[in-house]
Amino acid sequence: MDEQSVEFASLLASRLCHDLLSPIGALNNGIELLADEHDPEMRARCMELLAESARTSATKLKFFRLAFGAAGGFEDEIDTREARTAIEGLVGTQGRVELNWMVEQPSMSKAKIKILLNLALIAADALVRGGTLLVGAEDGEIVVRAEGERLILDPELKNALLGKTSEDALTPRAAAAWLVHVLTKQGGGEIQVSEPEDHVLLFGATFGG
């Protein structure tokens, strides 16, 4: 493993820690409150909050394991239902994004699954006030469409997706976007990113052959 690989792994780890800090911190706070609380109704409420934080942590971990890690074993193909479940869990924890799944292929390569998941992650984050997330894949093309009242795509993420930044300048926030760029380039593909106009943001990954 070279120095750049180690640095990129560190960026991904920082991104994961950032995203998991809130639900795990809520778990810790809930446990502390529960230890000091004696009112039955308040204890019941604490337990509800603990359960919610635990579910959020678990669903995010499952998503990140498939999107960033070696989940799916060592086979080249991964069941697309796993990707759908991971995205449903991710947007379900937010409670503000509706998923429209338009992937009919029963399986996709591990690299394309990671591209699809990370594009979905970026698009969901861009829906700052919620909305609809459409994920589709067909004939060598992956399309992710975000539609909502307010869409914000950080220029840093767009530049990373399009490969218009250097790896030395990457921050943890752009790690997922850079991973999409690298995997798409390795697969002989190309990324397209639309401007978030008319409450719509489009990402596309096309692969020849």
**Strand order through the sheet with 141-147:** 97-103, 131-138, 141-147, 200-207, 189-193
For residues 101 and 84, is the Cβ–Cβ distance under 8 A? Answer: yes
Q: What is the mean pLDDT of the chain?
A: 86
Alpha helices by DSSP H, the chain: 3-36, 40-68, 80-94, 110-126, 155-161, 175-186
Share of the chain above pLDDT 90, in %: 50
SS3 151: strand
**Cβ distance 160 to 177 under 8 Å?**
yes
- CATH number reported for the structural domain that contains residue 180 in this entry: 3.30.565.10
DSSP letters spanning 83-138: HHHHHHHHHHHHTSEEEEEEE--SEEEHHHHHHHHHHHHHHHHHBTT-EEEEEEEE
- DSSP lists the bridge partners of residue 97 as 131
Return the minimum-mean-pLDDT range out of 36-50, 52-66, 99-113. Answer: 36-50
pTM for the model: 0.86
> 20 pLDDT exceeds 80?
no
More confident residue, 60 or 93: 60
> What's the number of domains the chain is made of?
1
Beta-carbon contacts of 200 under 8 Å, excluding residues fewer than 6 positions away, are 145, 146, 147, 151, 194
pLDDT in tens, 45-60: 888 888 888 888 888 8
Per-residue model confidence as pLDDT tens digits over 134-150: 999 988 899 999 999 99
141 phi, psi to nearest 5 deg: -135, 140
**Structural domain boundaries enclosing 79:** 3-207
Average pLDDT over residues 5-24: 77
User: CA 147 to CA 45: how far, in whole Å?
Assistant: 34
Looking up tokens 């999409």, which residue turns up? 180
Q: 141-147 and 200-207 as β-strands: parallel, antiparallel, unpaired?
A: antiparallel
Query: How many angstroms from the chain centroid is the CA of residue 162?
Result: 18
